[in-house]
A and B are shown apart, each in its own frame.
Chain A
Amino acid sequence: MEKLEAELREKAKELLEKEEVTTVIGWGAGWNPAKASPLFVRDAQDADKLVFNPFCQNNLAVYLPRLNEKAAVITKPCDAGSVVALIAEGKIDRENVKVISIKCPGTVNPAKLEAAVGSLDDATAAYLDGDTIVVEVGGEAKRVPFAQVALDSCYLCNQDNVFGDVVIDDGVTKVTGEAVSVVPEDADSAWWRDFWAKEFDRCIRCYACREACPACYCRDNCAVQALRERWTGAKLDTKEALMFHAQRAMHVAGRCTECGSCERACPVGIPLSLLHKQVGDAVRKLFDFNVGEKADVRPPLEVFRKEELESGH
């Protein structure tokens, strides 16, 4: 990991010194060792503040559509998929973005880690030690196998063909494990209705999920907050929250890479990944389309193909 970090800093420094970009977007240390924080490096001498570890959770592609300068972005394979999707949608000027891609060991799911070791709020250190995540709280080192606390999507991640202008491959071993799903195999529509009624009941409509999502680039013009054509009402209840989340899920259908950024952004811990996986499964089935694979193919719901009509979809 140290070697990987050193290469990353070196590359960032080089891009800034050669003035190929004016900023490198990566991760720096957060207030908590178990929470890295996005970092915009604008001076080559600050490149040493860049870090890379399994706590680098944010999908930094989210910043690209709004930037008005030449930027390099550091991506994990899942985030690189978001960059590809944004290029495919024409939301990024390709010549303005340099992608530094990392073949990573995987990312920690904070909810799983907290379930295993307790609150991370008072952690004084957190790191990957071989195949074990170590969290130090109050002088005690709590150890848990990485395989037990990684993001579900990490287990399925294929790093053979990672997109990037620069790919940093330090030969790290990718985490393997079993995805934990709370969805029973025979879940029917009634199960889902009850499940989301319970989960959305605590939604505070802060829109952190939306703002953390690279596919939600409408940002300030989100239909949910449009002044006219009000799709969601003023009342705060489960129904209105469901309307918002269902609407968002449909808007990102065929564009969502299921990176899980929305879920991790949620201050009240709503498992949004399940919603997006459900929609993603439908897109894969209906359109035989994998988001983030090809930069020259428009998302399926953005185009109409005659054969879709003829095949009865």
Chain B
Amino acid sequence: MVTKILSAGNLQAWLDSLVAAYQVYAPVEGEGASSFKKIAKGQMPAMDIRTDTPPKGLIFKQVEKILSFEVNPDGITVIPGDENGTKKIVFGIRPCDSRSFTLTDKPFFDPNLPENQYMGHRNASALVTTACTSACRTCFCTSIGGAPDEKTGDVWMMDIDGKYLVESLTDKGEELIKANEGLFSDASADDEAAAKRIGEEVANSMPKINIADAKALDALFNDDAFWQKLTDKCLSCGACTFVCPTCYCFDVRDEGNTRKGERYRGWDSCMFYQYNRAAGGHNPREFHWKRMRQRMLHKFSYFPEKYGDIDCVGCGRCIRSCPVSYDLRDFLEGSLAVTGAAPVGFEKELSDVDTKDRSCEIKPADETVKTGGGL
């Protein structure tokens, strides 16, 4: 692996060379929200922003056609979904977002249940990570095992006083540097020391929050009062899950008819009532607080129990985007000091809310006919 220096003036030239060979996605300011967008030759990405929406959708698409099908006289023809081998580079991704893919890989690269579509996009992508030289008030990566200068992705780079220290972390990453060797110069020990110092400074500027371990959190499962109190102001929308780089729940929907149609896989949110509704209308998580419990325990208890890591990267987007300014850190800290108080107020049962889902309503018979027994 190689460690090099890229002058700020050569950044555009490197990007242009990458744009000529790959689809390059990078942080771009936009009206209303910043996000990762495909960049063109000569376009300088917004290297200093943390995007409002995560780069998740570049690899785990928000909606993706998995297959299309058609019934014909010989049987059923199944055509695979969208092409997924396009080589792309996600440039200027922050260490937290870069780390998020290593987490989502765990369930989707599971050999027992591989998610081919995700794997295709992932294998065809290279991540060029830009280390953080400052932290936001909502950042807490150091509390969940990450770091503002964590070396993750295929290439890692950091702005050290107007020039970039660039290091390849994988063969794929090394290729991106080697193909443009003329743009880079050799890095000195001083450069590496400077990067280390900046990383430590940023990490030290971030408050550390303590997080209960997976087992301790799971023990809170039956503490209804804790979850109710935690959730009372939650609106149960999906903003937090959709801006979350690690939330990976999805739904599969067919469109068309029984002769011909398409199958789509799209992001879903455990905060939605419909996500939890079972056939027949029963919903095991009928209240907001049960859905919040699922979201929290999945990230901080079930996932670490199964895969060894917390399924959160501390990017803080859920805190920034929440319409009611719910702060995930309140949960993490609050769970350490559970009091075991009596249950507080409840939401109404769904049946009490005067808005029946007409599509699923089963009406009682207008009249009961008595058969007189005998059956």
- Spell out A's residues near B (CB within 8 Å): 22-23, 30-32, 35-40, 42, 58, 62-63, 65-69, 90-91, 121-122, 198-199, 202, 204-208, 210-212, 217-221, 225-229, 233-236, 261, 264-271
Query: Which of A31, A202, A267 is within 8 Å of B138, CB to CB?
Result: A31
Query: Which of A39, A217, A225, A236 is within 8 Å of B233, CB to CB?
Result: A39
CA distance A235 to B319 in the complex (A): 28
CA distance A271 to B33 in the complex (A): 12
Instruction: Find out whether the CB atom of B345 lies under 8 angstroms from the CB atom of A67.
Output: yes
Q: Which residues of the partner chain B approach A229 to less than 8 Å between Cβ atoms?
A: 359
Known A206-B237, A227-B359, A265-B237: A37·B32 in contact at CB below 8 Å = no
Segment among B142-150, B268-276, B293-301 that sits at the interface with chain A:
B268-276
Closest 5 CB pairs of A and B: A269-B32, A220-B273, A265-B323, A211-B237, A30-B325
- A-contact 0/1 string along B307-348, CB 8 Å cutoff: 000000000000111011111010000000000000011111
47-103 of chain B: CB within 8 A of chain A = 52-53, 62-63
Instruction: Find out whether the CB atom of B30 lies under 8 angstroms from the CB atom of A202.
Output: yes
Instruction: Find out whether the CB atom of A58 lies under 8 angstroms from the CB atom of B52.
Output: no
A-B contact pairs, 9 of them (CB 8 A): A31-B325, A35-B325, A198-B31, A206-B241, A207-B237, A211-B237, A225-B272, A227-B274, A265-B235
177-218 of chain B: CB within 8 A of chain A = none
12-40 of chain B: CB within 8 A of chain A = 30-33, 35
Q: Which residues of the partner chain A approach B363 to less than 8 Å between Cβ atoms?
A: none
Q: Which residues of the partner chain B approach A212 to less than 8 Å between Cβ atoms?
A: 235, 237, 323-324
Q: Which residues of the partner chain A approach B120 to less than 8 Å between Cβ atoms?
A: none
Known A30-B325, A204-B242, A227-B274: A221·B30 in contact at CB below 8 Å = no
Query: Which of A35, A228, A264, A267 is within 8 Å of B360, CB to CB?
Result: A228
CA distance A300 to B338 in the complex (A): 49
Interface size classification for chain B: 35 or more
Instruction: Find out whether the CB atom of B255 lies under 8 angstroms from the CB atom of A208.
Output: no
CA distance A232 to B92 in the complex (A): 35
CA distance A256 to B38 in the complex (A): 38
CA distance A102 to B129 in the complex (A): 49
Known A65-B353, A236-B63: A211·B30 in contact at CB below 8 Å = no
CA distance A271 to B31 in the complex (A): 10
CA distance A62 to B324 in the complex (A): 11
Instruction: Find out whether the CB atom of B353 lies under 8 angstroms from the CB atom of A121.
Output: no
Instruction: Find out whether the CB atom of B137 lies under 8 angstroms from the CB atom of A122.
Output: yes
Query: Which of B236, B264, B345 is within 8 Å of A68, CB to CB?
Result: B345
Whether, in the assembled complex, B282 has its beta carbon less than 8 Å from a beta carbon of chain A, the answer is no
CA distance A15 to B137 in the complex (A): 36
Q: Which residues of the partner chain A approach B355 to less than 8 Å between Cβ atoms?
A: 217-219, 221
CA distance A271 to B235 in the complex (A): 20
Instruction: Find out whether the CB atom of A66 lies under 8 angstroms from the CB atom of B353.
Output: yes
Q: Which residues of the partner chain B approach A37 to less than 8 Å between Cβ atoms?
A: 233, 324-327
Q: Which residues of the partner chain A approach B8 to less than 8 Å between Cβ atoms?
A: none
Query: How many whole Å from B215's CB to the nearest CB in chain A?
Result: 28
Query: How many whole Å from B323's CB to the nearest CB in chain A?
Result: 3
